[in-house]
Amino acid sequence: MSFDDVFMLFQSPVLSGFAWFFILTSIFYIARIHAHKAIYSFTRVIHNGLRLTAQSVRQAEKRMLERNKEVLLTQGREATEHIIEREFERINDTVQKDLSEYPALHRLLSEEITRINEDYQASTDVPPAPPGWAKAIEAVAKIPGSKGDTMVGNVLDDIHQSMIKANTRVTEEYRKTSHKRHQLLSGMMPHWRKVSQALAQVDKNINSLLLRSISIDRHMDEYENIQAGSERAMQRLSSSSLTQFFISAFVLLIAVGGAMINFNLIARPMSEMVGGTSQLMGFQTSEIAALVIILVEIAMGLFLMESLRITRLFPLIGALNDKLRIKMIWITFGILLTLACVEAGLAYMRELLMQDAAATRALLREDGVEVIASSYLWITTAAQMGMGFILPFALTFIAIPLESFVHSLRTVMGIVVVALLRSLIWLLRLTGNIARFSGAMLVNFYDLFIFAPLWIEQQFRFREKKPGRKEESEAVDDVQYGSLSRS
């Protein structure tokens, strides 16, 4: 039975169309109330379902936010603890160093002060004592009748001469002692300088400690903020984490570039060792071997950095006792050195292989062009060997940006997930509301399809409408349409 058999109720398609329209309109008009209810129920179910889903997602978003906050604060706390710990270690080093020097410094200062004191004592200005018999001269001079007495005069002249001589001698001696005093005073200068230098050193050390204590205070404030989970601390940590993420990602990209160059340096000569045709999982074994060497170098670099306690990706290595840790440093460094030597050798081999390949190609071309051995060829060979040797050590430092990247990645991933969840919530709410209002829209479309019987119904109602029955009629309308549409 084809569609035409069902559709063609009459010979004329137009007439059949009208007939079907009439039938369907009648059916839809009869089922109108139930259809409206079904449409509203369906859209309400969708709306409620999506609203509930949005609520669940909101809960997940809240949990994710809390987790992010927790992770951020924990990371911030650990980082600040690490910084404070380092500051205290530095203070400890300074104090230990200065305190160990303190007895020597004290002895130096005491000795210098004693010497200064002695010199000071020695340089005290002692005025020469006046001659004791000056008063006797005065007494002789006061003897009555001595004036004009030549004998007295002679005595006094003798005394005067003696006094001049004594004065000259004393003055000379005084000059000598003054000179010696000045020498002592000038000899004090180096001691003063030493004392001054020692005190300046003490002042410098004290200032350094003061600066460290200021730095610790600042970090302690940050630590307290983090402990309190303040908004400011959160913002600062979040911003710092994002910055760290982008910087470390950039540095890692550079490192990847270095690793690729390293790979190209050793992949070709590796085919000489492991064969150029064998494949593993669709890749050439020589390439996989080269990649493995580079990855082993990176792993050794990570262990070296861990053992040096520069990074903290593996707490187990950091927690090893110092003796074992130092052993590990030497072992990893030894392996790295060996791999660097291997790479340098491979780089040299690469150059040889390329020369051999070029010679063979030239021979096969048969164009008479000989491969000329350039005198500058050793420069490229040496450069390749140097790169082969240095790059493994350079790759060691990947550990530092890698640590930052891993730590900041947790935060960044958290932020991204929260953003995704928020977008999902928005999408769910939008879809829910669209579903909700599409119910009313579908009802209107439904009514549009059965506009003819509705119009007739309206005409009947209009004619039957009497003043006394107006309120009753409106109440019926309300029940039939209003209550549904308002729901």
Partner 1 sequence: MFKLKLPVFTFILLAILVLIASCSKDHVPNTRAVYMLMDTSGTYTKELKQAQRVINFILASLNPGDTFAVARVDTGSFSEKDIIARVTFDDRPSMANQQKRQFRDKIARFVKNVKGSAHTDITGGMLQAIEYLNEAGAGHNLILVFSDLKEDLKKGYIRDIPLQLNGVSVVALNVTKLRSDNVDPREYLDRLASWREKVESGGGSWKVINDLERLEGILSF
Binding interface with partner 1 (CB under 8 A): 268, 271-272, 275-282, 353, 356-357, 359-361, 363-366
Q: How far is the CB of 260 from partner 1 (least distance, A)?
A: 21
Torsion from C-alpha of 88, 89, 90, 95, nearest 10 degrees = 80
Separation of alpha carbons 193 and 112, rounded Å: 10
CB atoms near residue 48 (< 10 Å): 13
Tell me 129's DSSP state: P
Between 132 and 282, CB nearer to partner 1: 282
Cβ proximity to partner 1: between 367 and 471 the closer is 367
Minimum distance from residue 362 beta carbon to partner 1 (Å): 10
Closest separation between CB of residue 410 and partner 1, Å?
Answer: 20
Contact indicator for 184, 119 with CB cutoff of 8 Å: yes
- Report the alpha-carbon distance of residue 351 to residue 368 in Å, rounded: 23
CB 347 within 8 Å of CB 266: yes
Shortest Å distance, C-beta 263 to partner 1 = 17
Beta bridge partners, 284, equal 279
Ordered DSSP codes for 418-450: HHHHHHHHHHHHHHHHHHHHHHHHHHHHHHHHT
- DSSP state letter for 277: S
**Phi/psi of residue 256, nearest 5 degrees:** -65, -40
User: What does the block give as tokens for 226?
Assistant: 């983090």
Measured from the CB of residue 428, what is the shortest distance to partner 1 in angstroms? 32
Q: Nearest approach, Cβ of 278 to partner 1 (angstroms)? A: 7
Q: Cβ 286 to partner 1, closest distance in Å?
A: 9
| Residue that has been written with the tokens 């018999």 in this structure | 133
Question: Of the two residues 36 and 350, which places its CB atom closer to partner 1 in the complex?
Answer: 350
Element (H, E) at 161: helix 150-228
Q: How far is the CB of 357 from partner 1 (least distance, A)?
A: 6
Which long-range contacts link 66-69 to residues 24+ away (Cβ below 8 Å)?
Answer: 67/414, 68/411, 68/414, 68/415, 68/418, 69/229, 69/234
Tell me whether residue 142 or residue 365 sits nearer to partner 1 (CB atom).
365
Q: Which is nearer to partner 1, 170 or 354 (CB)?
A: 354
**Nearest residue to 439 via CA among 38, 10, 15:** 38
Comparing CB distances to partner 1, the nearer of 72 and 270 is 270
Smallest distance, Å, CB 243 to partner 1? Answer: 35
Q: CB of residue 354 vs partner 1: minimum separation in angstroms?
A: 10
CB of 343 vs partner 1, minimal distance in Å:
18
Q: Which is nearer to partner 1, 239 or 278 (CB)?
A: 278
Closest approach, Cβ 360 to partner 1, in A, equals: 4
Residue 90: closest CA among 220, 216, 219: 216
- Nearer CB in complex with partner 1: 136/295: 295
C-beta of 356 vs 474, nearer to partner 1? 356
Question: Rounded to whole angstroms, what are the CA distances from 137 to 13, 128, 150, 163?
Answer: 172, 19, 15, 11
| 3-state DSSP helix/strand/coil % of the chain, to nearest 5 | 85, 0, 15
Cβ atoms of 32 and 41 closer than 8 Å? no
- Find out whether 342 and 348 touch, Cβ atoms under 8 Å: no
Q: Which is nearer to partner 1, 211 or 359 (CB)?
A: 359
In terms of CB distance, is 253 or 357 closer to partner 1?
Answer: 357
Between residues 189 and 316, which has the closer beta carbon with respect to partner 1? 316
Buried b / exposed e along 92-118 (16+ C-beta atoms within 10 A) = eeeeeebeeeeeebeeeeeebeebbee
